[in-house]
């Protein structure tokens, strides 16, 4: 490809709306252009990268025994009613009507469609196991599309679905996908951590995410990953558990009494006022889960993990209540209280979920729904009713101890590039997708589903591989492997040698660009670094001595080679991708 023909416009500056490096660089280097919020054009350079990520994905999926198909992007409401998700899938599901007033949606994922495909196509256990996958655009009306391709509204996903006759089969299918995913990301130049995760709205039991760990400086990672350096424990914060260090949990008060605690609406103020540690306080937090109030109780030095709480009450949406909502509830219950002073007593009719940390509390301090007052020396049973639901709803913190081996946990931010779920019969039972088993009995398929964000993976590669000058693509997914740069296009020898190198590489099947533009060398070098070609062969003045300059983008290393050596080296590199 001649640079003069390549459809690419690099920009001098980063786009003003971009927060993270992959977004900034992909726009500035001419890979993507925003069409509208969360929706991007993938320009020719980007399309080449995406095609490579897809090719790697296809190869590994096929090797793992999966078969590619392509399902419709537009789906009828009726199917989503069968699975029960039409009501529960929130606003991310883009719903629309066709000309006959029939209700449809844009596919955010394809469990419903694939289950209907299996329902029609698979009748007997003899046809199992099957794993079907597609690579396709998805649409999710994300509440906060951001970070360019990392969280778009329209994005490309590889989604696969496995069908097995029993749980054991599912475990095998699942493991195959876990292995394939590891290889896919490795081949894309990405080291990933496989972490335990919450199965969320998609349902099911066991699930893992593949995380690209990011340095915190850039904040592109939207997930906190807790992991142990001494064993293989790793989990998303929405699923992580830990052992806590010893703490004082007995308040030591000799009797329960209500005392004045003016201006102590925060735990910090209360601790200061009473001169106590937060570990002897029972914290009460009001949440709104699927529009209903839920009171969460936890030891006050710890935070609630909202996904865990949401799962504990079986809700689809959760958020902390606002001050007016708290006051409204207080009034409804006949209390004169505000945020900071609420507590579990007198909250009959409201779902109360307590974290396990409350079980250690003795003679503790608790809000009693009276402004500027608390009870001290409270105990469960006598002063406060022990809640019926006691589960782990606690957010893990770094330094707490690994649940597997007891060593301190670490935390890092991660970008989720893929995830795998053991769905079980969640969709097949609801949608009556059954097969006849060896014993002649009709059973629902045991399913798994497996996603990879193709566009997100490409963006994650930029997050991991860049410097202040631009992108440093891993060779396997670079749009072109090498650029040949004649320093002075008016110099006949330079142009001749550059063209010869270019032609030789082309005929060897190497993906190569020649920067034939009549531009200053500095401009060409800047563009080469920005676009991120893994190699640059510069033909300049030293050609009179028989040498070109060979530069590797990832290391910055520059060496002198003869033109033939440079060609041979690139052909060698191309072979080893
Ligand atoms: P997230 O928690 O990041 O929203 P998810 O749990 O909704 O992800 P899945 O529904 O399992 O993700 O989708 C499978 C994969 O698709 C994800 O692992 C991710 O790589 C990708 N993906 C999901 N949402 C987006 C998005 N808005 N933009 C780009 N890629 C996405
Ligand atoms: Mg999502």
Q: What is the pLDDT of residues 294-340, one digit of tens each?
A: 999 999 999 999 999 999 999 988 999 999 999 999 999 999 998 99
Ligand nearest to the CA of 90: 2
Asked whether residue 216 carries a pLDDT value surpassing 70, the answer given is no
Asked whether residue 200 carries a pLDDT value surpassing 80, the answer given is no
- CA separation for the pair 96, 116 (Å, rounded): 21
Section 15-38 average pLDDT: 96
Distance 156 CA to ligand 1 centre (A): 10
C-beta 108 within 6 A of ligand 1: no
pLDDT reported for residue 199: 77
- CA separation for the pair 283, 267 (Å, rounded): 8
Kindly indicate the confidence band of residue 291, based on its pLDDT and cuts at 50, 70 and 90.
very high
pLDDT reported for residue 97: 97
- CA separation for the pair 57, 50 (Å, rounded): 10
Asked whether residue 201 carries a pLDDT value surpassing 80, the answer given is no
- Which residue's CA is minimally distant from atom 3 of ligand 1? 416
pLDDT by residue (tens digit) across 518-540?
A: 999 999 999 999 999 999 999 99
C-beta 204 within 6 A of ligand 1: no
C-beta 417 within 6 A of ligand 1: yes
- Residues contacting 129, CB < 8 A, separation 6+: 162, 163, 164, 165, 169, 172, 173
- CA separation for the pair 200, 358 (Å, rounded): 25
Asked whether residue 111 carries a pLDDT value surpassing 60, the answer given is yes
Q: How many CB atoms lie within 10 A of CB 440?
A: 7
pLDDT by residue (tens digit) across 44-103?
A: 999 999 999 999 999 999 999 999 999 999 999 999 999 999 998 889 999 999 999 999
C-beta 109 within 6 A of ligand 1: yes
Q: What domains can you pick out in the chain, each with its CATH number?
A: 48-241+411-464 (3.30.930.10), 257-391 (3.90.960.10), 480-575 (3.40.50.800)
- Residues contacting 150, CB < 8 A, separation 6+: 20, 22, 23, 220, 222, 415, 456, 459, 460, 463
pLDDT reported for residue 241: 95
What is the model's pTM? 0.93
Taking the C-alpha atoms of 208, 210, 213 and 219 in order, what is their torsion angle to the nearest 10 degrees?
-80
- CA separation for the pair 218, 292 (Å, rounded): 37
- Which residue's CA is minimally distant from atom 24 of ligand 1? 151
Buried b (16+ CB within 10 A) or exposed e, 328-338: ebbeeeebebb
Q: Dmax of the chain from CA atoms?
A: 96
- CA separation for the pair 345, 330 (Å, rounded): 12
Taking the C-alpha atoms of 273, 274, 280 and 285 in order, what is their torsion angle to the nearest 10 degrees?
-40
Kindly indicate the confidence band of residue 553, based on its pLDDT and cuts at 50, 70 and 90.
very high
Kindly indicate the confidence band of residue 6, based on its pLDDT and cuts at 50, 70 and 90.
very high
Asked whether residue 400 carries a pLDDT value surpassing 60, the answer given is yes
Section 41-45 average pLDDT: 98
Ligand nearest to the CA of 209: 1
pLDDT reported for residue 204: 55
Least confident of 167-176, 331-340, 371-380, 433-442: 331-340
Counting from 1 in the atom list of ligand 1, the atom nearest the Cα of 210 is 18
Decide: 110 and 161 in contact? Cβ < 8 Å.
Answer: yes
pLDDT reported for residue 217: 65
CA-to-CA dists, residue 410 to 211, 227, 251, 346, angstroms: 15, 5, 30, 40
- Which residue's CA is minimally distant from atom 4 of ligand 1? 151
Decide: 3 and 483 in contact? Cβ < 8 Å.
Answer: yes
Asked whether residue 249 carries a pLDDT value surpassing 70, the answer given is yes
Kindly indicate the confidence band of residue 572, based on its pLDDT and cuts at 50, 70 and 90.
very high
Ligand nearest to the CA of 92: 2
Distance 152 CA to ligand 1 centre (A): 9
Three-state SS at 377: strand
Asked whether residue 134 carries a pLDDT value surpassing 60, the answer given is yes
Do the bridges between strand 281-289 and strand 364-367 make them parallel or antiparallel, or are there none, so unpaired? parallel
Name the residue of 34, 149, 306, 416 to mutate for ligand 1: max ligand atoms within 8 A of Cβ. Answer: 416
CA angle in degrees (0–180, nearest 5) for 460-465-471: 100
């Amino acid at each position: 490809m001649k640079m003069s023909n390549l459809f690419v416009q690099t920009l001098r500056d980063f786009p003003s709306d971009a927060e993270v490096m992959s977004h900034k660089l992909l726009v500035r280097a001419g890979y993507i252009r925003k069409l509208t919020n969360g929706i991007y054009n993938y320009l020719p350079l980007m399309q080449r990268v995406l095609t490579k990520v897809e090719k790697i994905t296809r190869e590994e999926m096929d090797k793992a025994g999966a078969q590619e198909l392509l399902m419709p992007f537009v789906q009828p409401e009726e199917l989503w009613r069968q699975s029960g998700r039409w009501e529960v899938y929130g606003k991310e599901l883009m719903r629309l009507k066709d000309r006959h007033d029939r209700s449809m949606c844009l596919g955010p994922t394809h469990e419903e469609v694939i289950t209907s495909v299996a329902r029609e196509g698979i009748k007997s256990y003899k046809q199992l196991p099957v794993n079907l996958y597609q690579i396709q655009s998805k649409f999710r009306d994300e509440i906060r599309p951001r970070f360019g391709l990392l969280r778009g509204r329209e994005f490309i996903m590889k989604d696969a679905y496995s069908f097995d006759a029993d749980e054991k089969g599912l475990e095998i299918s699942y493991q195959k996908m876990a292995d394939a995913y590891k290889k896919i990301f490795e081949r894309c130049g990405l080291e990933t951590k496989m972490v335990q995760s919450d199965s969320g709205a998609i349902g099911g039991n066991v699930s893992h995410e593949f995380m690209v760990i990011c340095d915190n400086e850039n904040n592109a990672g939207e997930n906190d990953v807790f992991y142990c350096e001494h064993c293989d424990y790793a989990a998303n914060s929405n699923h992580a558990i830990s052992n806590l260090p010893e703490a004082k949990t007995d308040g030591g008060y000799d009797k329960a009494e209500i005392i004045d605690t003016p201006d102590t609406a925060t735990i910090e103020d209360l601790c200061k006022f009473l001169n106590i540690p937060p570990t002897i306080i029972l914290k009460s937090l009001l949440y709104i889960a699927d529009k209903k109030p839920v009171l969460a109780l936890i030891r006050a030095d710890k935070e609630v993990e909202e996904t865990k709480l949401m799962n504990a009450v079986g809700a689809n949406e959760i958020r902390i209540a606002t001050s007016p909502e708290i006051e409204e509830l207080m009034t409804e219950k006949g209390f004169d209280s505000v945020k900071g002073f609420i507590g579990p007593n007198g909250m009959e009719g409201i779902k109360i979920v307590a974290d396990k940390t409350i079980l250690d509390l003795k003679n503790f301090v608790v809000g009693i729904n009276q402004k500027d007052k608390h009870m001290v020396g409270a105990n469960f049973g006598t002063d406060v009713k022990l809640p019926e639901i006691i589960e782990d709803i606690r957010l893990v913190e770094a330094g707490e101890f690994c649940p597997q081996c007891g060593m301190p946990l670490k935390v890092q931010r991660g970008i989720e590039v893929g995830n795998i779920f053991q769905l079980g019969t969640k969709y097949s039972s609801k949608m009556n997708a059954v097969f006849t088993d060896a014993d002649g009995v009709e059973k629902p398929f045991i399913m798994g589903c497996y996603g990879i964000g193709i566009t997100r993976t490409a963006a994650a590669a930029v997050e991991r591989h860049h410097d202040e000058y631009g992108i440093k693509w891993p060779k396997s997914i670079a749009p072109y492997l090498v650029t040949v740069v004649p320093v002075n296009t008016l110099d006949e020898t330079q142009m001749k040698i550059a063209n010869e190198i270019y032609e030789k590489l082309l005929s060897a099947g190497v993906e190569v660009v020649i920067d034939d533009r009549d531009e200053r060398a500095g401009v060409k070098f800047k563009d080469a670094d920005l676009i991120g070609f893994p190699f640059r062969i510069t033909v300049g003045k030293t050609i009179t001595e028989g040498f070109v300059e060979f530069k590797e983008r990832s290391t910055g290393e520059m060496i002198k080679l003869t033109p033939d050596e440079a060609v041979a080296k690139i052909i060698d590199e191309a072979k080893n991708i």
